[in-house]
Amino acid sequence: MSQVQNIQWFPGHMTKTKRKIQANLKLVDAVAEIIDARIPISSRNPDLDSIIQNKPRIILMNKCDMADKVQTGRWIEYYRKQNITAIPIDCKSGKGLNNFIPEVKKVLSEKIAQWEAKGMKNRSIHIMIVGIPNVGKSSFINKMAKKESAKVEDRPGVTRGNQWFSIGQGLELLDTPGVLWPKFDDPEVGEKLAFTGAVKDQVMDTELLAFRLLEVMSKYPTPQFIERFKLQDIDLDSTEPYELLEIIGRKRGMLMSGGVVLRVKGRALAVSKGGAFGQDFQG
Provide, rounded to whole angstroms, the least separation between the CB of residue 33 and ligand G4P: 12
| H or E element that contains 174 | strand 171-175
**CB-nearer residue toward ligand G4P: 20 or 137:** 137
Q: Total binding residues for ligand G4P by CB under 6 A?
A: 16
Tell me the three state secondary structure of residue 172.
strand
- How far apart are the C-alpha atoms of 68 and 128, rounded to whole Å? 27
Binding of ligand G4P by 143 (CB under 6 A): no
* Binding-site member from 42, 85, 139, 218 for ligand G4P (CB under 6 A): 139
Binding of ligand G4P by 178 (CB under 6 A): yes
Q: Can you say whether the dihedral through the CA atoms of 270, 274, 279, 283 is positive or negative?
A: negative
**CB-nearer residue toward ligand G4P: 227 or 280:** 227
Provide, rounded to whole angstroms, the least separation between the CB of residue 90 and ligand G4P: 4
Write b or e for each residue in 167-193: b if 16 or more Cβ atoms lie within 10 A of its Cβ, otherwise e: beeebbbbbbebbbbeebeeeebbbbb
Provide, rounded to whole angstroms, the least separation between the CB of residue 88 and ligand G4P: 9
Backbone angles phi, psi at 15, to 5 degrees: -65, -40
Residues in contact with 233: Cβ distance below 8 Å, sequence separation at least 6, in sequence order: none
**CB-nearer residue toward ligand G4P: 12 or 119:** 12
Contacts of ligand G4P in 35-74 (CB under 6 A)? 62-63, 65-66
Q: Which residues sit at the interface with ligand G4P, rule CB under 6 A?
A: 62-63, 65-66, 90-92, 131, 133-139, 178
